[in-house]
Chain A
Amino acid sequence: AQSVTQPDIHITVSEGASLELRCNYSYGATPYLFWYVQSPGQGLQLLLKYFSGDTLVQGIKGFEAEFKRSQSSFNLRKPSVHWSDAAEYFCAVGAETSYDKVIFGPGTSLSVIP
Chain B
Amino acid sequence: DAGVIQSPRHEVTEMGQEVTLRCKPISGHNSLFWYRQTMMRGLELLIYFNNNVPIDDSGMPEDRFSAKMPNASFSTLKIQPSEPRDSAVYFCASSLFTGELFFGEGSRLTVL
Interface members, chain A 42-60 (any B CB < 8 Å): 42-46, 49, 51
Contact yes or no, A103 B45, CB < 8 A: yes
Q: B25 within 8 Å of A by Cβ?
A: no
Q: A67 within 8 Å of B by Cβ?
A: no
Q: B11 within 8 Å of A by Cβ?
A: no
How distant is A22 from chain B, measured CB to nearest CB, in Å?
Answer: 16
- Chain A residues whose C-beta falls within 8 Å of the C-beta of B48 in the assembled complex: 99-101
Chain A residue total in the interface (Cβ 8 A): 26
Given A43-B91, A102-B45, decide whether A49 and B103 contact each other with a Cβ distance below 8 A: no
- Mark A65-96 against chain B: 1 for CB-CB distance below 8 A, else 0: 00000000000000000000000001010111
| B55 to chain A: closest residue by CB | A99
| A97 to chain B: closest residue by CB | B98
Interface of B, helix, strand, loop or mixed by DSSP: strand
How distant is A5 from chain B, measured CB to nearest CB, in Å?
Answer: 11
| Interface size classification for chain B | 20 to 34
Q: A104 within 8 Å of B by Cβ?
A: yes
- Chain B residues whose C-beta falls within 8 Å of the C-beta of A99 in the assembled complex: 31, 48, 50, 55-56
How distant is B57 from chain A, measured CB to nearest CB, in Å?
Answer: 12
How distant is B66 from chain A, measured CB to nearest CB, in Å?
Answer: 19
Q: B105 within 8 Å of A by Cβ?
A: yes
Contact yes or no, B43 A90, CB < 8 A: yes
Taking a contact as CB atoms closer than 8 A, the residue among B35, B98, B104, B106 that contacts A32 in the complex is B98
